[in-house]
């Protein structure tokens, strides 16, 4: 199946009031697991590559080209998305490589500067037919730079999307990045108000900290794109640790990376079932 535009996945999901799983790729095993999990579920999926992952690999192209290749040969619709890019140069490279969407993160800037920077990136992306997500106000836990209890204001969010022309907005509703427990309490009333105030899909960052019931309720309240990274990474790492503990003299990395990949694929299938059933 050809690489699928992100808007062609997220737009119908918003209309149909169900969720889209957007899972982060750290290495090729993650991408393989996510695509396999989506194929088993028979659901579309978004592969996400963050700026942190780009720094880990030392360049965007190697992991990006691998992910794009997997997307193009998948049996279900797969989009490839650049996550939390903070520089125009990285966004431009992703667009040139063929990414179907980018998330430009200028949330460290004040409101006016965020609007200006994001509008310029949105114009560049739209000229290339690329879908763009942005963030208004930092989501909790990103480099420790978010005061507890901060929430996105619906009126400000409406003004921001109108001024920037973005296609989706990540909002602060009670989740936090890199949580290792799934006990975040989301503001469902605020999600519903944001859904009513905006004409673009809402994106939930920090979804690893939200339990199954919370994810279903968030989608029912109006969230569409659900970003999950840390939760899958914990499962991946736990499986590797268990395998190495059981066989400490193991030399072949395939003997522990393969099972870790299988674990993530199984969880992706399960999560997609929760997100797409929630409506």
Task: Give catalytic residue positions.
Answer: 83
Phi, psi of 258 (to 5 degrees): -60, -50
| Host H or E run for residue 80 | strand 78-85
Please tell me what DSSP assigns to residue 98. Answer: T
Tokens representing 5 are 């535009």
User: Among candidates 178, 108, 164, which has minimal Cα distance to 138?
Assistant: 108
| CA dihedral over 204, 210, 211, 213, signed as positive or negative | negative
| CA dihedral over 144, 178, 148, 159, signed as positive or negative | positive
Contacts of 258 (CB under 8 A, 6+ apart): none
């Amino acid at each position: 199946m050809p690489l699928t535009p992100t808007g062609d996945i997220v737009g119908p999901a918003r209309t149909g009031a169900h969720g889209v799983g957007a899972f982060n790729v750290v290495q090729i095993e993650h991408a393989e697991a996510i695509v396999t999990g989506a194929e088993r579920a028979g659901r579309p999926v978004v592969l996400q590559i963050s700026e942190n992952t780009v720094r880990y690999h030392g360049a965007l192209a190697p992991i990006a080209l691998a992910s794009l290749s997997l997307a193009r040969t998948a049996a279900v619709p797969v989009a490839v998305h650049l996550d939390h890019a903070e520089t125009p140069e990285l966004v431009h490279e992703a667009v040139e490589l063929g990414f179907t969407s980018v998330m430009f993160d200028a949330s460290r800037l004040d409101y006016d500067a965020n609007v200006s920077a994001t509008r310029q990136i949105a114009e560049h992306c739209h000229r290339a037919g690329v879908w763009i997500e942005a963030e208004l106000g930092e989501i909790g836990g990103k480099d420790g730079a978010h005061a507890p209890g901060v929430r996105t204001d619906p009126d400000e969010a409406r003004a921001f999307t109108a001024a920037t022309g973005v296609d989706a907005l990540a909002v602060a509703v009670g989740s936090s990045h890199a949580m290792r427990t799934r006990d975040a309490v989301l503001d469902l009333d605020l999600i519903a108000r944001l859904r009513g105030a905006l004409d673009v899909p809402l994106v939930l960052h920090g979804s690893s900290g939200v339990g199954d019931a919370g994810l279903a309720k968030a989608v029912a309240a109006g969230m569409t794109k659900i970003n999950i990274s840390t939760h899958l990474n914990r499962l991946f790492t736990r499986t590797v640790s268990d395998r190495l503990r059981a066989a400490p003299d193991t030399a072949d990395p395939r003997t522990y990376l393969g099972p870790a990949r299988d674990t993530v694929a199984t969880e992706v299938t399960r999560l997609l079932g929760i997100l797409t059933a929630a409506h």
